Structure 1
Amino acid sequence: MTPVETRTLLAEHTTLHLGGPARRFVVAETTEDLLGAVRADGRVLLLGGGSNLVVGDAGFDGTVVKIATRGWRIDGESVEVAAGQNWDEFVAAMVEAGFGGLECLSGIPGSVGATPIQNVGAYGCEVADLLISVEHYDRRTGEVRTLSAADLGFAYRTSVLKGTDSGIVLDVRFRLRPDGLSAPIRYAELARTLGVELGARVPAADAREAVLDLRRGKGMVLDAGDHDTWSAGSFFTNPIVPESELDGVLARIAQVVDTPAPQYPAEGGVKLSAAWLIERAGFHKGHQGPGGRVSLSTKHTLALTNRGAASTADLLALAKEVRDGVEAKFGVTLHPEPLLINCSL
């Protein structure tokens, strides 16, 4: 474990490049160091790749533990991965080794241990489709337990682990496809890019490259020189409207917009497109927030970006403007996808 640092700016450790100082900051490179660090201080913030965090300008008055455990072990048709392992490096290695299943989650920033917490998903695939189990440390009992996918209560962009600091993911086990082919292609845009029908399977390497190309076009592959990638990815989740409320919501949308709102089946209701709602509420790509220091990405409406000199307060002001504008026009409330630390929307 690295020596304890004090007053480390968290902006140096998040993909938004935002966040004030941590009272204490340590890097844990082994599971033993990680457990020791979280046992040493009652108020702990776990940090992986920093891609799904919005940290307040005042920072965090506690211990920030950077999880830097790395590596994986393949066991037949499954693989166990350390929580601090960079996600996309791991996905790339699995594809190169001839395994399929993870390719549609290529290019997502962050660490492996963070992926089950919010049930990371993209291009028709989500972690819940592939996860077998996690090794989980419960800070309340001091026990390390194996939690199955069923134990994690997966739903759209969430799990029972989200929004709590009572437990820590130490390792994650995924199932793999040994034939080197992708999971069935479920996302229409990806199918068009690959030139295949929905449900087709293609070489995992082909699917990975197509996904990376699509993500680059939306500013969703990290590039320090491109402020469109200074973001937390999609800032708002796609809203799920209960069936009982759907007719009323669609009627209100139809009063404002001529074209029908895109709809997708979802557990508990119907999922609408947050990007579609944001754009039709008058917020277009590049829409600027306070002083032009933040804006919607010029490539993707769902990404709120730091243009280089922003504060977290600037970002939240833009997020509030967009959220309130969509609610005023359509009566639909958007909810943030990243975790808000010492700040609120």
Structure 2
Amino acid sequence: MGYELRRWFEDRLPLEISSGERVVALAIADLAWDDSRIGYGRKFMQKLLWKTGFENEAQVGKVLGKLAARGIELRVPIKGQDGEPLKNKRGQLVYAHRGHQRTFRIPFETEFPGRPAPYWDDQGERSPDLDPHAWHNNERSPGWETFEGERSPAREGFQGDRSPGREGFRGERSPARESLVTQAGDPIPLTTPTFPPSVTPRGVDSAGKAGSEKDDPALAAAVDFLMNLPEPWPLGRVSAKAMAPLLIEAITEQGWRLDADLIAKLTENAAGVHRPMSVLRIRISDLPKAPQRTATKSGSNLPLWCGDCGDGNPAAEFNAKFRTEPSSKKPCPACHPAHRTADAA
């Protein structure tokens, strides 16, 4: 596996990344192949979770998003039939898709903001590892001797795995090289993560199936909230579905609601933001405690939301700009404040 690649990568990763980001990056480098710098496989995510100690793929995805925001992109986008990277309607790259495995790649030194690799001048002290015929304390160097049942980690693979450069996996292909036939609309995200046998991810019921957007109103509300953020922050449905569980977890822990205050917090200081999706993910992950809510001033309360306007967007309950007639930008005649003012006059 990528023993040498991991050592190369750890010498060049920047100092400012967090310990969790470093653990994930080095674990991926360890699982990737030295020659191709590519890593994938039927059990790749299971191995990655085991090595990093993370509980589920959502946590790993959160860290990968932070690495990408720092310019260290380890994910390989899925390619379409034309051989070009697949994008959703928002123009964002698609890294995961139902029925397709995730693929990772360790970038070259010129492809990420790393630090100069150190030069350890330790050749002066000759090690027995440098001479296959050298002996030390009447024992041959383990770097050159073959032990029964033991192999060098640089050449050792997981049981049943071979380098894709020499032998392909039976019944599977790299999603980065595989053509993709898409259905109408946006691609369906990867919704069935692989977990180690001993780990039970949060948010999974006794049957072992995660709640879907259809039968989880909170998830549906979070998806709609992310898709209706002001420019340049709104996400496509694929990205919104992927980020919605992270949003739900953050607002539950920090006491926020899907309202105008949360919109203002997540979209503040938009000037100079070049990668809104990555920045949004980081802001959700670092969301602080919600401010204490004070009593609303008299006369500023919105009319009761009718529940039908704004194409059912839950944000309309707290923000009048979403209270529009279905498939239209006209103010809702039932609950928009403009109509209430007109009626009062």
**TM-score, scaled to structure 2:** 0.28
